[in-house]
Amino acid sequence: MVDKDLLSIQEARALIRSAREALTYFSDIGQEKVDSIIKAITDAAVSNAEDLAKMAVEETGFGKWQDKKAKNMLASEKLYHHIKDMKTIGVINEDKEKKIIEIATPAGVIAALIPSTNPTSTTIYKAMISLKSGNAVVFSPHPSAKKCIGKTVEIIRSALKSQGAPEELVSVMSFPSIEGTDELMKESDLILATGGPAMVKAAYSSGTPALGVGAGNVPAFIERSADVDSAIDKILVSKTFDNGTVCASEQAIITERVIEEKVRASLISKGVYFLEGEKLNRVKAVMERPNGAMNPDIVGRDAGFIAAKAGIEIPYGTRLLVSDEEGVGPRFPFSKEKLTALIGFYTVENWEEGCEMCFDLLKNGGIGHSLVIHSNNEEVIREFGLKKPVSRMLVNTPSTHGAVGITTGLAPSFTLGCGTVGGSATSDNVGPQHLFNIRRVAYDLNNKSCAAPKITGSSDVDIKLVTELIINQLKNITVA
């Protein structure tokens, strides 16, 4: 009988070894060839974007294939146009005034952990940024998405082969396990961790440098100066995108009492159903596991699926289920992250109170991630920007699309750093620039010699004379 855990560990070691051998390929090519490889992978991903999207939905049951296709396009075509002119190989900058040459040195072999919610797009994205920066990458797939992730890697490897590059630059574990993934993380040079809090914590505890993300419990504040209908349209487009599987999707709507009725009416007219009484209790019963964690059975599902599972009836065509929530914390399930067609609703008296409510929601599982505000009051927007502990504050845009760089100028990314406040090593949208080190060659700015004179004797007088000469030389040198 084969021990699957040992098999997984051995496979991780073998893939790391093969990746290290393949890395020597990058030492013989320049930026132009690397960019040619990235273009080939982009073209292959674009050609297969729809098939991979359908495969992901079929295998995991999460989301909508049309939206997963859009994610695949973001991870390939849009990402390519963002990074295609980025210098990542060899000399990347030369400052003649400061006399510093900057040379990119790859991280090495990257361990990339892939979630089941965004499996194919995250695989494409991590392969693209890893190879662009001269690294090899080994994927650890979520077991429930192993087939579609494996197919994505197969397509990428074919693109590598077509360019004469070693296929071992990109590989995937066939026998993923906790033990095998732990070994992969320990043996790699850098970890790109995208997934749940426990997995990200394991990455940071592995002893290997890691770039991870935190949970997203994104508040959406609608301030009284906002265009309410436009704000609701954007929130619904974002929250229903791929049935809410993106961690940057809105988790609660907060609005001021003066416009509350207008916000409610707009939500209802656009297909949102407010849960009350027994229907609300039934939905709450299927939202979470006994320990308070999200119920995976409803992750990435639409409103109709959730209603059927809860045994309730809702109007046909309902896009989102919403509940007035009374508080924030473990006892209030609609105040938590919900990667599905559920959202909380809060009413506050003014923007100052709304600011505090957003802060409370962020502290309840989303600190450091993202916040979205719908407002035409620049003073209020500035106050939120100055005070909220997030890495992305999005203004008048769908949160999902804005955070990953579709509707904003932010870098296209499926690894959204949460900064130190959120337990991440970066607050950026992670890209190729995070996957290499920079070696700096720094020249003396004054070009003056400070060589010590030759010592011809060993007397106290000689040593004293030498010391005085060196001191005098140093006085003439300006310290940079």
Residue 71's domain is classified under what CATH number?
3.40.605.10
pLDDT at 301 over 80: yes
Give the tens place of pLDDT for each residue, 116-133: 999 999 999 999 999 999
Residue written as tokens 């845009």? 397
Question: What three-state secondary structure class fits 369?
Answer: strand
Residues in the chain: 480
**Average pLDDT for 303-323:** 97
pLDDT at 350 over 60: yes
pLDDT at 461 over 90: no
Q: Per-residue DSSP letters for 124-139? A: HHHHHHHHHTT-EEEE
C-alpha span between 318 and 425 (Å, rounded): 40
Residue 237 belongs to some domain of the structure? yes
pLDDT at 459 over 50: no
468 band by pLDDT with thresholds 50, 70 and 90: low
- The percent of residues above 90 in pLDDT, for the chain, comes to 85
CATH number, domain containing residue 274: 3.40.309.10
Is the same domain home to 133 and 184?
A: yes
The answer to whether 8 touches 16, Cβ cutoff 8 Å, is no
Is the same domain home to 155 and 240?
A: no
Name the active-site residue from 247, 355, 358, 418.
247
Is the same domain home to 232 and 185?
A: no
Is the same domain home to 63 and 193?
A: yes
Nearest Cα neighbor of 111 from 169, 191, 18 is: 191
**Average pLDDT for 430-434:** 96
Q: What is the pTM of this model?
A: 0.90
Residue 399 belongs to some domain of the structure? yes
pLDDT at 291 over 70: yes
Is the same domain home to 313 and 196?
A: no
Give the tens place of pLDDT for each residue, 369-419: 999 999 999 999 999 999 899 999 999 999 999 999 999 999 999 999 999
pLDDT at 145 over 90: yes
Handedness of CA 344, 347, 352, 357 (dihedral sign): negative
Give the tens place of pLDDT for each residue, 335-348: 999 999 999 999 99
Residue 425 belongs to some domain of the structure? no
Is the same domain home to 376 and 249?
A: yes
Which pLDDT score, from 0 to 100, does residue 112 have?
97
Q: Which residue type does 100 have?
A: I
Which pLDDT score, from 0 to 100, does residue 186 have?
96
| Tokens matching residue 185 | 């993380």
Is the same domain home to 309 and 391?
A: yes
Residue 426 belongs to some domain of the structure? no
Residue 420 belongs to some domain of the structure? no
Residue 294 belongs to some domain of the structure? yes
Is the same domain home to 330 and 194?
A: no
Is the same domain home to 269 and 394?
A: yes
The answer to whether 338 touches 379, Cβ cutoff 8 Å, is no
Question: How large is the greatest C-alpha to C-alpha distance in the chain, in angstroms?
Answer: 101
C-alpha span between 7 and 2 (Å, rounded): 7
Is the same domain home to 197 and 247?
A: no
Q: Is 247 a catalytic residue?
A: yes
List, edge to edge, every strand of the sheet that includes 436-442. Answer: 90-95, 100-106, 436-442
Which pLDDT score, from 0 to 100, does residue 453 have?
53
Is the same domain home to 337 and 458?
A: no
Which pLDDT score, from 0 to 100, does residue 102 have?
97
State how many domains the chain has. 3
Q: Which residue range(s) make up the domain with 71?
A: 4-213+431-438
Residue 480 belongs to some domain of the structure? no
Is the same domain home to 14 and 51?
A: yes
Give the tens place of pLDDT for each residue, 201-246: 888 889 999 998 878 999 999 999 999 999 999 999 999 999 999 9
Residue 376 belongs to some domain of the structure? yes
C-alpha span between 238 and 397 (Å, rounded): 9
